Amino acid sequence: MPTLSDRQRVELAIPAYLLYALTAASGMFVPADPDQAAKAEADIAALRADLQAALLEPFGDLVAKKQHALLRRVERIGKAVIVGWGNRPALSVILALWYFLKDLTDREVLILWEGSAMERATSRLLPMFAHGFEEQMRDAAAQDQAHQLLARMKAEGLYG
């Protein structure tokens, strides 16, 4: 297996970082049926565990010092993106991240191998916010926001 460059490792980790941060927000995923709250909480915990594994996976073969340096880069880039989420509706952020991820997978910049932590996480996420795709106006805005996110990443030298 070929060795990944630092840039490629960061590119692999960014989507997981952003989705992990999103799932940390309280009230982000609320079940329609309050009786399902315990199940929903367990589902989110499993989702977060998969996202954390996907975030760390690209750095697993590196020495600790190099891992920390690259994770700091991921965190710096990720935090700069997250700052812009403050005044946007949650569904808008979720859909934009979904389209960002879809673009990366469509272009095979990111490959979600069956059974991988990221594949498990995305397969859990899709049903959680599929209803958002039904709203045409919000959907179009999310696609535009995903393009803006990609442009921001390209300015960082990523996903070129």
Structural domain boundaries, residue 58? 6-154
Q: Token pair for residue 78?
A: 């990720």
Nearest to 22 by CA among 46, 44, 39: 44
Q: Is residue 109 part of a domain?
A: yes
Q: Is residue 115 part of a domain?
A: yes
Q: Give pLDDT tens digits along the chain (160 positions).
A: 468 999 999 999 999 999 999 888 766 666 667 787 788 788 888 999 999 999 999 999 999 999 999 999 999 999 999 998 877 877 788 888 989 998 999 999 888 888 899 999 988 887 766 655 565 556 788 889 999 999 999 999 999 8
Q: Is residue 1 part of a domain?
A: no
Q: Is residue 79 part of a domain?
A: yes
Q: Is residue 133 part of a domain?
A: yes
End-to-end CA distance of the chain: 22
How distant, in Å, are the alpha carbons of 36, 89, 137 from that of 134? 23, 16, 9
Q: Is residue 160 part of a domain?
A: no
Q: Domain count of the chain?
A: 1
Rounded distance between C-alpha atoms, residue 20 and residue 71, angstroms: 14
pTM above 0.85, yes or no: yes
Q: Is residue 159 part of a domain?
A: no
Q: Is residue 61 part of a domain?
A: yes
